[in-house]
Amino acid sequence: MTLQVRGIVLPEREERTFWTDGDRLRTEPVPGAQLVVDGGWLLPGLVDVHTHPGTEALDTPFTDETLRRHLTEHRDAGVLAVRTPGSAARIPAWVDEDPELPRVRSAGRWLATPGRFFPGFGRDVSEADLVRAAVEEAEASSGWCKVIADWRHDEPPLPADVLAAVVEAVHAVGGRVAAHCQTADGSRNAVLAGVDSLEHGMHLDPGLIDRMAAQGTAFVPTLSAFAAGVDRRRAEEPSARRDWWLSGWESLLPTVTAAYEAGVTVLAGTDSFPCGTVTSEIHWLIRAGLPARAALGAASWGARSWLGLPGLVDGGPADLVVYDADPIADPSVLAHPRRIVLRGRVVV
**Interface with Zn ion by CB under 5 A: which residues?**
271
| Closest approach of Zn ion to the CB of residue 8, in Å | 34
| Closest approach of Zn ion to the CB of residue 161, in Å | 25
Choose between 87 and 279: whose C-beta lies nearer to Zn ion. 87
| Closest approach of Zn ion to the CB of residue 241, in Å | 19
Choose between 124 and 271: whose C-beta lies nearer to Zn ion. 271
| Closest approach of Zn ion to the CB of residue 325, in Å | 32
| Closest approach of Zn ion to the CB of residue 271, in Å | 4
Choose between 60 and 332: whose C-beta lies nearer to Zn ion. 60
Rounded Cα distance between 283 and 331, Å, is 8
Choose between 271 and 319: whose C-beta lies nearer to Zn ion. 271
Among all residues, whose Cβ is closest to Zn ion? Answer: 271
- Contact in structure between 334 and 327 (CB atoms under 8 Å): yes
| Closest approach of Zn ion to the CB of residue 326, in Å | 31
- Contact in structure between 190 and 163 (CB atoms under 8 Å): yes
| Closest approach of Zn ion to the CB of residue 111, in Å | 13
Choose between 150 and 271: whose C-beta lies nearer to Zn ion. 271
Rounded Cα distance between 174 and 187, Å, is 23
Rounded Cα distance between 281 and 223, Å, is 6
Q: What does the DSSP assignment read for 235-254?
A: HSPP-HHHHHHHHHHHHHHH
Looking at the DSSP bridge assignments, the partners of residue 46 are: 79
Choose between 94 and 118: whose C-beta lies nearer to Zn ion. 118
Q: For the stretch 278-310, what's the b/e string if a residue is b when 16 or more beta carbons lie within 10 angstroms of its beta carbon?
A: bbbbbbbbbebebebbbbbbbbbbbbbebbebb
Choose between 74 and 343: whose C-beta lies nearer to Zn ion. 74
